[in-house]
Amino acid sequence: MIELVDALRLVEEAATPLPPRRERLLDACGRRLAEAVRADSDSPAWDRAMMDGFAVSHADFEAAGDRAVELTVVVDLAAGATSEVAVRPGTAARIMTGAAIPPGGEAIVPIERAVDGTAAAAAGSRVRLHEPSFRPGQHIARRGTAFAAGEAVLPAGSMLTAAEIGLAAEAGATHVVAAPRVRVAILSTGSELVDAAAVPSHGQTRNTNGPMVAAAVSLLGGEAIPLGIAADRPETIRAAIAQGLAADVLVLSGGVSAGDFDLVPGILQACGVQQVFHKVRLKPGKPVWFGRLDREGAQPTLVFGLPGNPASTLVCFELFVRPAIGILAGQPAASWHLPRRKAVLTGRCKGAAGRPVFLPCRLTEASGDRELRAEPLRWTGSSDLRGLAGASGLMAVPAGASFDAGDTIEVLVRTLPSVG
């Protein structure tokens, strides 16, 4: 049995960032760019109208002061239309937002500045425009002012959220080179397990760990590969493990304790997976197993055998699997682990002799107050998923310690509390 800090260090040492992958722009959403996105062309690619109105010559307005200017409309341009008809002093092009400025168009006078109901003027008719605060070049986005062809519009390391995806599309990037989505195979072991769709008969237990781990992987931006349930038979488990070892990470649950049918560690080793540790001084989650399969021409597959009790599974996922996924995905070190914060307890909590304990709590943050409060949740032990639902934090209780209401305790923040 090893200490938690040592176990975490061993996981960090075994995990190295996966090489970046080139993929379709949308598939890279939520991940970091490994290479800059460069623009294939100027944006805008031509001078663009930013208001509905009239494209005019400077000369007509610079001298006008507070007087209205009367112009002849020479062309009417909707977005998408282009025209070679030039705007000269004394004339204007009627133009809509997003249309290309015709030759000679130097500024836009908005449609609201038309007087005497002349805004609807068609080509050939006269329009009177009153624009006392005229600025040269107003309401025109000139070619290349957002970015020029060849410019790096998104540097390497940029996180691709909605705005960055839009900008990459503007720059003509259909594909990008980004940190890869970590592929995580998930296998639930146990002869008692049935799919959640089944009504469990006597002695059967619904597989909650499969969907739960898949959800945790997805929330971290990984690709969950569910392998379903394997009964506690060596050949069944071996076949499923062989399949899972093709992924970047294999997460098993169940079968790692000391019972007669806890076959997982032996089978993993028979499959060539090298054990890094088995059993960590920790509650819940003591029987956790970690190893790696070295592969030719690929990075090692990291293998986590998590204890089957759902709360143990989740706590071990948060402690051990989360940083591994973060490292493989090339994320900065500060984001690998759940954030640790101090919080003031609103109730009592009691640790365990000889092992640090992680207990569910609800975190709140009083408005205008940066202090976190931790409300211990009713929790009956490592099979109690209901007590974990809604747990925004885990209280880290050192071995042998106990705390009362008002004491300050360290918490792992799972989700940021809503201010209230």
Distance CA 180, CA 299 (A): 13
Q: Which residue, 179 or 316, is less far from Mg ion as judged by CB?
A: 316
- Give, in degrees to the nearest 5, the angle at Cα 253 between 249 and 256: 105
Distance CA 334, CA 331 (A): 8
Site residues (CB under 5 A) for Mg ion, limited to 307-336? 308
Output the furthest CA–CA distance in the chain (Å, rounded). 96
Residue 314, C-beta contacts closer than 8 angstroms, at least 6 positions apart: 212, 216, 385, 388
Q: Taking CB under 6 A as the rule, does residue 191 contact ligand AMP? A: no
Using an 8 Å Cβ cutoff, are 71 and 56 in contact?
Answer: yes
Which listed residue (76, 192, 384, 410) binds ligand AMP by CB under 6 A? 192
Residue 44 Cβ, how far from ligand AMP at the closest point, in Å? 55
Q: Taking CB under 6 A as the rule, does residue 309 contact ligand AMP? A: yes
Q: Taking CB under 6 A as the rule, does residue 360 contact ligand AMP? A: no
Instruction: Provide the pairing of β-strand 249-253 with 152-154.
Output: unpaired
Which listed residue (102, 222, 308, 323) binds ligand AMP by CB under 6 A? 308
- Scanning 17-25, 43-51, 205-213, 345-353 for contacts with ligand AMP by CB under 6 A, the matching segment is 205-213
Q: Taking CB under 6 A as the rule, does residue 190 contact ligand AMP? A: yes
Query: Which entry of Mg ion, ligand AMP, none binds 309, CB below 5 to 8 A by partner kind?
Result: ligand AMP
Query: For residue 395, what are the CA distances in angstroms to 6, 258, 273, 317, 374?
Result: 20, 27, 33, 16, 8
How many CA within 13 A on the CB side of residue 356? Answer: 17
**Which residue intervals of 102-206 are DSSP H helices?**
162-170
Which listed residue (209, 301, 331, 364) binds ligand AMP by CB under 6 A? 209
Q: Which residue, 19 or 381, is less far from ligand AMP as judged by CB?
A: 381
Q: Which residue, 255 or 351, is less far from Mg ion as judged by CB?
A: 255
The interface mask with ligand AMP, positions 225-264, x = CB under 6 A, is ----------------------------xxx-x-x-----
Distance CA 382, CA 254 (A): 13
Query: Which entry of ligand AMP, Mg ion, none binds 91, CB below 5 to 8 A by partner kind?
Result: none
Q: Which residue, 209 or 392, is less far from ligand AMP as judged by CB?
A: 209
Question: Interface residues with ligand AMP (CB under 6 A)?
Answer: 188, 190, 192-193, 205, 207-210, 253-255, 257, 259, 307-310
